Amino acid sequence: MSLRVLIPKRLAMTILIVCIGCSLLLALPQAQGQSERLKKLLPSVQVSYFEWARDSHSFVYSESSPEVIDSFGSDSLWTHYNLNTEAFAESSTYPFLPQLTPQEETIFVRTGNTFFYLSPDGRYLVYVGEKVLEGLTSRYWQLVIGDRQTQTTYTPEYPLYDPFGKEERFDARWSQDSRSFVLVTCVDQFMCFPSVFFYVRGLESGLSGMVFDWLSMTFPTVAGVEYRALELLDFSEDGTWALLTVGEDYGRGASHLMMYNVVIPQSSFLITDPMGIVPRSLRFATPDGSKMLYIDNQGIYRYDWANHTSTLLTTELNNSKAKLGEFSPDGHWFVFVNSSRELYLYDLQGLPEAPMPTAIAPPHGEGGE
């Protein structure tokens, strides 16, 4: 074979190898799935509040503080996004209100533009009843629990002050079995922070078995120290754990994260492990509350309090990129807006799982007996 023929063949082979190598390098991020995890939904939005549907198939966001209907008559108070259809829908009314029959609307009568909170099994309703006036300045609304199966209602003797918003005013988080829920209410008509936190249980056989407890959860005690509950971050699906922000000195002192056991309050404990640098958007990642997701200055983590570990899932997102965000209940999605007000959806499916503990160790040596 002549040298003139050999050189072009060697040159062609070299070019082919180089091209294959370039193709592999270009395809590598897609093979890892990183470049396809981040999806831009809208170029510019104003968001102050996110909320996911219980099934994690959709979410809503509000431009201002969450209310059922915008008091200023805006036509775009709520925006709803469906992950299956990838469609947006704007509404002046909160999209997650339960749909009642005409007969039910005559039985479960809520006041004005207030929220309905439907249990996961569709049986129970938590809502705002009649307005009660006491004198010229004192006024409150009734708390009502409705049973759609028996078409009956129960009105406990606990007043609701200014129940026309969600956060800090009137919110409810249900356990997945619909037997218990955590209720957040306004403390009085002049101040909604810190709120009062109720743990309501006993719905296995209807309204007659309900038990309301607000003292233990509003003023939780760990290792002999009484704290003031400041914020409910999440309530585990199995109805055992409430993730709280608590404060010392009636909320005026240092704040902490607390795993509050609603079933056995004596087993509650403070999270003292270094979770990250300014952790935000905390949410339970498992039904039993043993793991939670959060985002910090480094990335997105899964925290396991049983074996005191935080596993870094990704560095694609961090606090500098996600200014406001919310994890989906199933832990598969993270919706957020960045500093440029762009709306994004991030897919966490398939990211590494946190190492499972071989035994449940006592959490930090605090609280339990």
pLDDT cut 90: percent of the chain above it: 75
How far is Cα 56 from Cα 53, in angstroms, rounded to an integer? 5
Tell whether the model's pLDDT for residue 72 goes beyond 80: no
Q: Are 128 and 67 in contact (CB under 8 A)?
A: no
pTM comes to: 0.85
Q: What is the predicted pLDDT for the residue at 70? A: 74
Tell whether the model's pLDDT for residue 6 goes beyond 80: no
CA 51 → CA 57, 220, 328, 346, 359, distances in Å?
Answer: 11, 27, 8, 15, 34
Edge-to-edge order in the sheet of strand 280-284: 280-284, 291-295, 300-304, 309-314
How far is Cα 227 from Cα 219, in angstroms, rounded to an integer? 5
Tell whether the model's pLDDT for residue 14 goes beyond 90: no
Which region holds residue 12: left if phi is over 0, alpha if psi is between -120 and 50, else beta?
Answer: alpha
For the stretch 228-247, what's the b/e string if a residue is b when 16 or more beta carbons lie within 10 angstroms of its beta carbon? bbbbbbbbbbbbbbbbbbbb
Which has more confidence, 338 or 15? 338
> What one-character DSSP code corresponds to residue 70?
-
Q: What is the 3-state secondary structure (H, E, C) of 287-346?
A: CCCCEEEEECCCCEEEEECCCCEEEEEECCCCCCCCCEEEECCCCCEEEEECCCCCEEEE
Q: Are 87 and 123 in contact (CB under 8 A)?
A: no
CA 181 → CA 15, 323, 341, 357, distances in Å?
Answer: 66, 30, 34, 29
Q: How many of the other CB atoms lie within 10 Å of CB of 288?
A: 13
Q: What is the predicted pLDDT for the residue at 36? A: 87
Q: How confident is the model at residue 353 (pLDDT cuts 50, 70, 90)?
A: low
Q: Which two tokens stand for residue 171?
A: 């919110």
Give the H or E element holding residue 212.
strand 211-213
Q: Are 126 and 184 in contact (CB under 8 A)?
A: no
Q: What is the predicted pLDDT for the residue at 190? A: 79
CA 303 → CA 51, 55, 127, 171, 264, distances in Å?
Answer: 22, 22, 34, 26, 22
Q: How confident is the model at residue 137 (pLDDT cuts 50, 70, 90)?
A: confident
Q: What is the pLDDT of residues 44-69, one digit of tens each?
A: 999 999 999 999 999 999 998 899 99
Tell whether the model's pLDDT for residue 11 goes beyond 50: no
How far is it between the farthest Cα atoms of the chain?
A: 110
- Owner of token pair 């006993």: 202
Tell whether the model's pLDDT for residue 293 goes beyond 90: yes
Q: What is the predicted pLDDT for the residue at 188? A: 83
Q: Are 240 and 250 in contact (CB under 8 A)?
A: no
Give burial (CB, 10 Å; 0-12/13-18/19+) of 108. Answer: buried
Q: How confident is the model at residue 135 (pLDDT cuts 50, 70, 90)?
A: confident
How far is Cα 298 from Cα 15, in angstroms, rounded to an integer? 40
Q: What is the pLDDT of residues 262-288, one digit of tens each?
A: 999 999 999 999 898 899 999 999 999
Q: Which two tokens stand for residue 92?
A: 């002046």
Q: What is the pLDDT of residues 205-260, one digit of tens each?
A: 899 999 999 999 999 999 999 999 999 999 999 999 999 999 999 899 999 999 99
Tell whether the model's pLDDT for residue 183 goes beyond 60: yes
Q: What is the predicted pLDDT for the residue at 146? A: 98
